């Protein structure tokens, strides 16, 4: 059932320091996850890492103040990509989202179906990931999909539940909702349409991370320099990791050396 993480901090870190080097890194979780809850044994159907780069020329036509995310995605297992493992040791960032994928049965295996998804909405460029499954896909959420602008439907990145959830979140942000409201609203509506779905969503614009825990594992920790990491599974056995209760919405912003990170965990309304 896929694994994902986001790391935001005041200090640049290498991609490797978060994604490939910790004892229970996302790389390890791609072949030996420990808390998959109801589906899959490995996350070998591809992976992706998106990281914000301040001075990158915008990939879209608009100018963004906060920096743009670079996206690296493959439809192979992370452990087979020696070039990624190499470049991860050389690339530094203050904000990244990464995921390893275990494709839900019936859904395509392709690079375009690998999280994170990237897109612009409301003046920011976002990275989005989903751990889980929409039950009864696609029939259960046909009405929800029909609420999307036609262009959003026609430009869905992949024929997967995750790509639809991303389009729904993005449409809400484009319509003026803040990120946490957009994510919470989509989870509530998707659960109403497709009960018992597993909906761990993760969204970042490089300044904040919004995540949900709905029938899937999620933990977070803060670091002394003000950084915050949110991950499906703790990356090591440090006691600083806190498990997020099921049915929660997490919003986190990094701090600095003199100001702690801000993390709030609230119950999602039913």
Of 15, 127, 133, 144, which one interacts with ligand GLN (CB under 6 A)?
133
Near ligand GLN by CB under 6 A, which window of 12-20, 64-72, 101-109, 220-228?
Answer: 101-109
For 217, how many CA atoms within 13 A lie in the half-sphere containing its CB? Answer: 19
Quick check: 160 binds ligand GLN (CB under 6 A)? yes
Of 19, 88, 98, 107, which one interacts with ligand GLN (CB under 6 A)?
107
Of 102, 204, 212, 229, which one interacts with ligand GLN (CB under 6 A)?
102
Instruction: Estimate the share of the chain in helix, then strand, then coil, as percent rounded to the nearest 5.
Output: 25, 30, 45
Quick check: 2 binds ligand GLN (CB under 6 A)? yes
Determine if the peptide bond prior to 116 is cis (ω within 30°).
Answer: yes
The conformation of residue 57, written as its DSSP 8-state character, comes to P
Strands 198-204 and 117-121: unpaired
Least distance from C-beta 136 to ligand GLN, angstroms? 13
Question: Which residue of this chain has its Cβ atom nearest to ligand GLN in the complex?
Answer: 2
Distance of CA 5 to CAs 42, 48, 177, 218, 258, Å?
16, 11, 23, 9, 25
**Interatomic CA distance for residues 148 and 67, integer angstroms:** 28
Quick check: 104 binds ligand GLN (CB under 6 A)? yes
| Catalytically annotated residue among 2, 36, 186, 249 | 2
Near ligand GLN by CB under 6 A, which window of 12-20, 49-57, 156-164, 240-248?
Answer: 156-164
Report the sign of the C-alpha dihedral through residues 12, 16, 20, 26, in that order. Answer: positive
**Interatomic CA distance for residues 208 and 152, integer angstroms:** 24
Q: For tokens 């301040």, what's the residue? A: 54
Q: Catalytic site residue 114?
A: no
Quick check: 130 binds ligand GLN (CB under 6 A)? yes
Quick check: 40 binds ligand GLN (CB under 6 A)? yes
Residue placing its CB nearer to ligand GLN in the complex, 10 or 138: 138
Catalytic residue numbers? 2
Q: Which residues bind ligand GLN (CB under 6 A)?
A: 1-2, 40, 101-104, 107, 113, 130-133, 160-162
């Amino acid at each position: 059932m896929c694994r994902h993480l986001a790391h935001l901090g005041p200090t640049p870190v290498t991609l490797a320091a978060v994604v490939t080097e910790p004892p229970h890194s996302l790389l390890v979780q791609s072949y030996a996850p420990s808390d998959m809850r109801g589906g899959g044994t490995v996350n070998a159907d591809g992976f992706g890492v998106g990281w914000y780069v301040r001075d990158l020329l915008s990939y879209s036509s608009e100018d963004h103040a906060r920096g743009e995310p670079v996206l690296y995605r493959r439809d192979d297992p992370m452990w087979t990509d020696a070039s990624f493992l190499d470049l991860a040791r050389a690339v530094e960032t203050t904000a990244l989202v990464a995921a390893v994928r275990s494709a839900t049965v019936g859904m395509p295996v392709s690079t375009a179906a690998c999280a994170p998804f990237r897109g612009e909405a409301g003046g920011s460029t976002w990275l989005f990931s989903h751990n889980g499954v929409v039950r009864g896909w696609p029939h259960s959420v046909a009405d929800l999909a029909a609420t999307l602008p036609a262009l959003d439907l026609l430009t869905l990145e992949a024929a997967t539940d995750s790509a639809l959830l991303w389009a729904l979140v993005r449409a809400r942000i484009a319509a003026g909702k803040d990120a946490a409201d957009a994510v919470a609203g989509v989870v509530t509506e998707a659960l109403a349409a497709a009960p018992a779905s597993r909906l761990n969503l993760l969204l970042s614009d490089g300044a904040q991370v919004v995540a949900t825990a709905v029938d899937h594992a999620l933990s977070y920790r803060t670091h002394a320099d003000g950084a915050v990491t949110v991950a499906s599974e703790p990356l090591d056995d440090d006691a600083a990791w806190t498990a997020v209760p099921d049915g929660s919405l997490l919003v986190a912003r990094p701090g600095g050396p003199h100001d702690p990170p801000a993390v709030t965990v609230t119950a999602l309304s039913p």
